[in-house]
Amino acid sequence: MNVKKELKQLGLYPSKRLGQNFLFDENLARKIVDSLESDKQVIEIGPGLGVLSKYILKRFPDAIFIEKDPLLFNYLKLHYPNGKFILQDALKFDFNRFDSYSVISNLPYSISKNMLRKFISAYPHMDEAILMLQKEVVERLTSPPCNKKYGVMTILTRIFYIEEKLFNVSKNVFYPKPDIDSSVVRLKKRDSIPLNHDEVDDFIRFIKTIFSSRRKKISTNLGISDKKNNKLSLRAEELSLEKLIELYRELKSSSE
């Protein structure tokens, strides 16, 4: 596909501010779609010119495609008449109308963090997601403890999903060429989360507090003595999700 030519004919000029970068590598598009393991209802977010969509439709004829741009929406309807296209902002779409579904997307950089928050709140309805994101964002999602990229986003995602970086993507397979490289990541729904449901909101507040000043000890961020628990003398980034949950419960138990 000659993306530049197609966009010019549409009179559409990609917005750098919105992070609009159109994938044109057919082999990569096929590889991304082949990465999807789930057989649930498939939803593509931001299909653009349909470079992923055509391979999605071959595997999942009942797939649904959510496109925000009216020009691209009409283009997709014309070129893929059998596809089910919805003209809507994905951030406002009610994904939970489906009991179980999978997502695939080359997410625009401008909405990637907000969409990740939406996926977190979608648990347990979203079974799997194959996402192309900024390489830095994927590094944050998949980071181990004791790493500067390990933080609130890592923990919040890890509560609900098992994350796996699949492969890196060169900036040279997009038009216009972005300033940064991308990576493809899989988020796979956990069968059960490591928290009780009545703990989730309070634990999230706890995490945001202890990561509020990354270089400070957990005790300092909480405003308590580190003598209560030896983990309190550490920085939050030094503890795994399991150890953070353990600390949260120990502190909660000691305050009751």
Which parts are annotated binding residues for S-adenosyl-L-methionine? 21, 23, 46, 67, 89, 106
CB 19 within 8 A of CB 109: yes
> Which residues have C-beta within 8 Å of that of residue 230, sequence separation ≥ 6?
none
Count how many Cα atoms sit within 13 Å of the Cα of residue 124 in the half-sphere of its side chain. 5
Handedness of CA 70, 71, 72, 77 (dihedral sign): positive
CA distances from 241 to 143, 186, 193, 245, 252 (A): 12, 19, 11, 6, 16
CB-based contacts of 14, cutoff 8 Å, min separation 6: 7, 20, 21, 22, 175, 176
Contact predicate 183/165, CB 8 Å: yes
Assess contact for 125 and 146: CB atoms under 8 A.
no
The residues, ordered by sequence, that sit 6+ positions from 120 with a Cβ below 8 Å of its Cβ are 156, 157, 159, 160
Contact 148, 161 (CB under 8 A): no
Binding residues: 21, 23, 46, 67, 89, 106
Which residues make Cβ contacts (< 8 Å) with residue 201, sequence separation at least 6? none
